Amino acid sequence: MTNKRIRKAVIPVAGLGTRFLPATKSQPKEMLPVVDKPAIQYIVEEAVASGIESILIVTGRNKRAMEDHFDKSFELETILAEKGKTGLLEIVRSVSGMADIHYIRQKDALGLGHAILQARAFVGDEPFAVLLGDDIIQADEPFLRSMMEAYHREPASIVAVQPVPRKDVDKYGIVMPKAAGPAPQDQPYFEISSLVEKPRVAEAPSSLAVIGRYILEPTIFDVLERIPFGAGGELQLTDALQQLSGMSRLIAMPITGVRHDIGDKFGYIRANIEFALEREELKQDLRSYLRSLVQQIHTMDSASQAAPTVQGKRVRVRKTGRV
């Protein structure tokens, strides 16, 4: 086990984004905007704010737009400078100078574990962070920084976790705490005895789901190279972490802040609303709109409940309005 400073982060973004088709037919889901920034920029900003110095983005086909986004745009900068739009010019320049970013392509979509394995040469023998492009964590302090601080106190691989409804455990990797005691999600971090990828609801060891933040020891690469392909015919990072838990300590750390699953349509809509409510130029108009929207919904619900019935069946009453 090493105890080096965490300098590098890996961001796997090779997924196809099928849940957002047709929007993602020709653009990466990670480039879909949350207010006015692409989702991937929030992930990179969290890494940089946490103290990460170098980032590897593991891409796939049709992901070139991300490379263009974090590159310099000479034509756009020239036009903005000529028009005297210094504010926008500064924003554009800050994106291209945000971090030392490298790219590698995952040529075959063989799972998250396979994507992480592509980073071996980049990482070397150092501990490193992994941030998934689907999860934006909205918090006062960068959550990855809290994970990095926990690693320096107690060196071990760390996974971020969050309680999920029991009915949804088959959508996640699920952890089993090592010892009984206070509710694990109420502790700063706790040791894990096992993990299982997308278990059946009746067989899940808990309802604590692994979400998109990890601190990993470089020994994970050796494990990934020898484990068999798992669920869905893919190389599962959860399976590798399960093996790692039998070799060394594995820590779970409940997230602080609000996690937005922007790979989910409702999660994406919610993220746009909540981030817009933090913007000074948007929040008043948005609050007024949301209040009027809630009032319209209440009015329609009341009208629906009061609708007349004929022979026990409710009669549909046509209403005007946006909702």
- Per-residue model confidence (pLDDT) at position 11: 95
Helix-helix angle 39-49:143-153, to 10 degrees: 40
Does position 114 have pLDDT exceeding 80, yes or no? yes
* DSSP string covering 210-276: EEEEEEE-TTHHHHHHHSPP-GGGS--HHHHHHHHHTTS-EEEEE--SEEEETTSHHHHHHHHHHHH
Pick from 19-23, 275-279, 304-308 the range whose average pLDDT is largest: 275-279
Per-residue pLDDT for 311 more than 80?
A: no
Residue 139 CA to residue 255 CA, distance in Å, equals 10
What's the pLDDT tens digit per position in 196-208?
888 888 888 888 9
Mean pLDDT of the chain: 85
Question: Do 234 and 308 have their domain in common?
Answer: no
* Domain co-membership, 109 together with 154: yes
- Is the pLDDT confidence value at 21 over 60? yes
**What does the alpha-carbon distance between residue 249 and residue 229 come to, in Å, rounded to a whole number?**
23
- Whole-angstrom distance, CA of residue 180 vs CA of residue 75: 60
pLDDT of 310 reads: 54
> Are both 164 and 246 inside the same structural domain?
yes
pLDDT bucket at 191, cuts 50 / 70 / 90? confident
Average pLDDT of the residues in 186-191: 76
Say how many C-beta atoms besides its own lie within 10 A of residue 68's C-beta.
Answer: 10
Percent of the chain with pLDDT over 90: 41
| Same domain as 300, residue 223 | no
Query: What CATH code is carried by the domain that includes residue 156?
Result: 3.90.550.10
CA distance linking residue 63 with residue 84, whole number of Å: 32
* pLDDT for res 238: 86
The pLDDT score that the predictor gives to residue 151 is 92
What is the pTM for the complete model shown? 0.85
Mean pLDDT of 42-59: 93
Structural domain for 39, as ranges: 8-278
Asked whether residue 153 falls in the same domain as residue 22, the answer is yes
Q: Give the model's confidence band at 320: pLDDT under 50 very low, under 70 low, under 90 confident, else very high.
A: very low
Decide which of 217 and 298 is more confident: 217
Query: What total number of domains does the chain contain?
Result: 2
- What's the pLDDT score for residue 53? 92
> Does residue 235 have a pLDDT over 50?
yes
Residue 266 has pLDDT above 90, yes or no: yes
Q: pLDDT digits over 159-175, tens only?
A: 999 999 999 888 888 88
Residues 204 and 309 in one domain: no
pLDDT exceeds cutoff 50 at 319: no
Q: Please check whether residues 268 and 288 belong to one and the same domain.
A: no
Within a domain: residue 96?
yes
Q: What is the mean pLDDT of residues 276-297?
A: 93
Q: What is the mean pLDDT of residues 108-129?
A: 91
Q: Give yes or no for residue 131 having a pLDDT over 90.
A: yes
pLDDT band at 321, cuts 50/70/90? very low
- Confidence class of residue 246 from pLDDT cuts 50, 70 and 90? confident
Q: What is the structure's pLDDT at 318?
A: 47
Query: Which position has the higher pLDDT, 9 or 308?
Result: 9
- The reply to whether 57 and 129 lie within a common domain is yes
203-226 average pLDDT score: 91
Confidence check: pLDDT of 71 > 60: yes
| Residues 180 and 286 placed together within one structural domain of the fold | no
What does DSSP assign to residue 26?
S
* Same domain membership, residue 255 and residue 131: yes
Residue 322 forms part of a structural domain? no
